[in-house]
Amino acid sequence: MDREEVLRRLRNPAFTMEAARRAVAGQELPEGLARRVLRLCVIRGIRYHDAFAQDSAKVLHDLLPKLPEFKRALNARAIMSNRIPDMSPDSDFAGDMPYCIWHPEVATEDTYRRLVQRYPAMAYQVARACAVAGYTDLYRELDILPEVHVAEEARANGSTAIFELIMAEPVRYKIMDDYTRTVCLHAPTAPAYLNGDTCVRPMLDEKEDIREPTTKRDIDDPEYRRPNPHYGYYHPGFKRPAFNITEDMNVSVPKEGLPAWLRDDYEPDRWWEAPRLPWTNSMAELLTTPLPQDLPEGNKDLLIIMAAYYGDIDRYVRLRRPTSLADNEAWCIVRGIYHNSLFAAWFASRQTAEIDRLYQCGGSEGKVWAIVAAIDARFIMDNNLSRLVPYFTDPPTNIPKGEKVKTKDYDPPYMIWYPKLAAQSTYAELARQVPSMRQAVARACVFGNFKEVFDQILAADPEFCPDVFTLREARISPQPRADYYEEAIMKRARELGRDVELKSSVEGNRDESGRWAHHDWRWPSVRPGGYKLSDSGYNHMHHYPETYTTLYSSLHTGVLYADQDNIDKNVYNDIGCDAGPVEMWVGLPEEWRPVDGPHWVRSLDYVSWPPKETPQL
């Protein structure tokens, strides 16, 4: 294959699953190298198949200076095959020096010794390889600083001698960075501790099946053209893992002809993208204890999302990953902000940086909006309107024809009365300053029995009518004057000729801002106790706060319920988040905890579970 052919393929966005399979198997280069998912498959094929690296893929070494990841993959494969490649001695790890040189195979001890003699800058990569392979003698010869990534790698791979050598040192250093694939030789961080920030070798064996991309070209392709600003859902064909030290995103391909749930290697917990159960996570005990300086071995995702869920600033800042989000982390942040004013204030003080981080971690516009809306809501409930007035005040009406006015970037929050009511004066001023939030304010007034403010809103605008959700809130309210709100709403509706008895979003109309006024998630109330909405089509009971008596074997901490059947949980502006199973689990006696099999459901009813032989209360 000549240079022109490679360049032609680099412009070709064609994707087929068969081409991906052949690339992963190290059989041939795909036609559509313009697709990143196929380039990842090529890198995976190079790393796993030396014959592919020396034959079909060899042409990628010199012809693609703008895509150095191919050259790094080829050099890594050469090292693992006990060949020392020619690399620039002054290169950083964004050039041709590979970061990971120990997966899927390790080279011989002599190969790594010769490698570090020729390229001293790779001493810490060689140390990681020693930790994987157990080359204790070579590690001693390196005479390097005790590095925390090497320590975590040694612990995970059973290289006890190397681990103990590092942990015995009075000060440890952070020189490697598995999130950015960089090695900082000249300005190491000290003291450093084991913080679960290492992509240890067993993690590299956990693969994710690719899928067909959802657009004709990748959105970062120079020739990509969006049909309109709202181009809809985009999936590049692969899932971004927490780490990418091998530069192939841990991609795999599904077995031909079989959907995921029928394959032998199907794992339901991973399909649901939920954290592992506490009893399969070695860090679970840290949910109820202060964090030690050095974290134990294990996946810290559960610790991250629970720190976000409770709005624990110190734990969250220490534990979170700078370049990726744990599953459902964004939704746990929303919940933490709603329930912790200090967490909300911290996010508000760093809003620009946190939004940038969220996007860099692969966050969507929806996640960004949800977090910003949560901050605004928490500030409102704390009687602080300083954030809202500059952003959400309606634009002036005397705009010259043809000119556009930049309005707010995000919709204001709707849930502004849970878990805390603001003062009546706050709601009155909010309705005056931000007319588009009057529906939310009206419902807050009914919830809090703020009759004076409710009347002010109606009197200020004879064209304003509280919607069906506020009517529902009035009808189930236990307040003495609940009937007053229902009568006032129905009277205004009759005056304006509006129907506020709509049963679902299908029958909805538009509110003053032109948006669809009826969202299913707004039907339930957050009042303690239960009530039925049989006439609205939702016949199950709604309880706030939730009462948990069921423990699942696949723990869905922080599960997102938005736009799904569990609308009664989407209290945080169409975001649902609960940690009930975790909160129940951490307090259970050891003998109460079920151990019979990996997938089950237990209901704590004191009849069927816990068993009768357990200690009595």
**Mean pLDDT of the 387-396 span:** 55
pLDDT above 70 covers a percentage of the chain that reads 76
Mean pLDDT of 544-548: 42
* CA triple 535-575-443, angle to 5 deg: 55
Whole-number pLDDT of residue 229: 46
Residue-wise pLDDT for 193-247, tens only, equals 999 999 999 999 989 899 999 888 888 887 776 654 444 567 889 988 889 999 9
Read off the pLDDT band of 449 (50, 70, 90).
Answer: very high
Place of tokens 């911290």: 346
Q: Where are the chain's structural domains?
A: 296-398+407-527
pLDDT at 531 over 90: no
Which of the two residues, 602 and 348, has the higher pLDDT score? 348
Residue 481: predicted pLDDT:
76
Question: pLDDT tens digit string along 477-506?
Answer: 887 777 999 999 999 999 998 888 755 433
Give percent of the chain with pLDDT exceeding 90.
52
Mean pLDDT confidence for 338-366:
87
pLDDT at 302: 84
Mean pLDDT of 165-194: 95
Per-residue model confidence as pLDDT tens digits over 260-306 = 444 444 444 332 333 444 444 567 788 889 999 999 998 888 899 88
User: pLDDT tens digits, residue range 460-475?
Assistant: 999 999 988 899 899 8
Task: Give, in degrees to the nearest 5, the angle at Cα 402 between 398 and 406.
Answer: 70
Q: List, as one string, the DSSP characters of 55-78.
A: TGGGGHHHH-TT-HHHHHHHHHHH
Q: Which two tokens stand for residue 143?
A: 């005479």
| Collapsed DSSP state (helix, strand, coil) of residue 538 | strand
Band (pLDDT 50/70/90 cuts) for residue 317 is: very high
Q: Are 239 and 208 in contact (CB under 8 A)?
A: yes
pTM: 0.85
- Asked if residue 64 lies in contact with residue 46, where contact means CB atoms within 8 angstroms, the answer is no
Report long-range pairs for 589-594 (Cβ below 8 Å, ≥24 apart): 589/614, 589/615, 591/615, 593/279, 594/551, 594/553
Greater confidence, 601 or 577? Answer: 577
Are 24 and 253 in contact by the 8 Å Cβ rule? The answer is: yes
- Predicted confidence (pLDDT) per residue in 9-34, tens digit: 999 999 999 999 999 999 999 999 99
Longest dimension (CA), the chain: 89
Quickly count: other Cβ atoms within 10 Å of residue 374's Cβ. 26
What does the alpha-carbon distance between residue 598 and residue 554 come to, in Å, rounded to a whole number?
8
Q: In this predicted model, which residue has the larger pLDDT, 81 or 369?
A: 81
pLDDT of 510 higher than 80 = no
Distance CA(126)–CA(109), nearest Å, equals 9
Would you state the pLDDT for residue 153?
A: 97
> Is 176 in a helix, a strand, or coil?
strand
Residue 257 has pLDDT above 70, yes or no: no
Tokens representing residue 125 in the block? 């990569």
- Average pLDDT over every residue of 145-168: 97
In whole numbers, what is the pLDDT of the chain averaged over residues? 81
Beta bridge partners of 602: 551
Provide the β-strand partners of residue 533.
538
CB 52 within 8 A of CB 26: yes
Q: Are 438 and 414 in contact (CB under 8 A)?
A: no
Q: Is the peptide bond before 191 cis (omega within 30 degrees of 0)?
A: yes
Residue 563's pLDDT band, with cuts at 50, 70 and 90, is very low
Residue 568: predicted pLDDT: 55
Residue 534: pLDDT above 70?
no
User: What does the alpha-carbon distance between residue 260 and residue 209 come to, in Å, rounded to a whole number?
Assistant: 9
DSSP codes, 7-46? HHHHT-----HHHHHHHHTTS---S-TTSHHHHHHHHHHH
Confidence label for 592 from pLDDT (cuts 50, 70 and 90): confident
- Report pLDDT for 396: 41
Asked if residues 519 and 501 have their Cβ atoms less than 8 Å apart, the reply is no
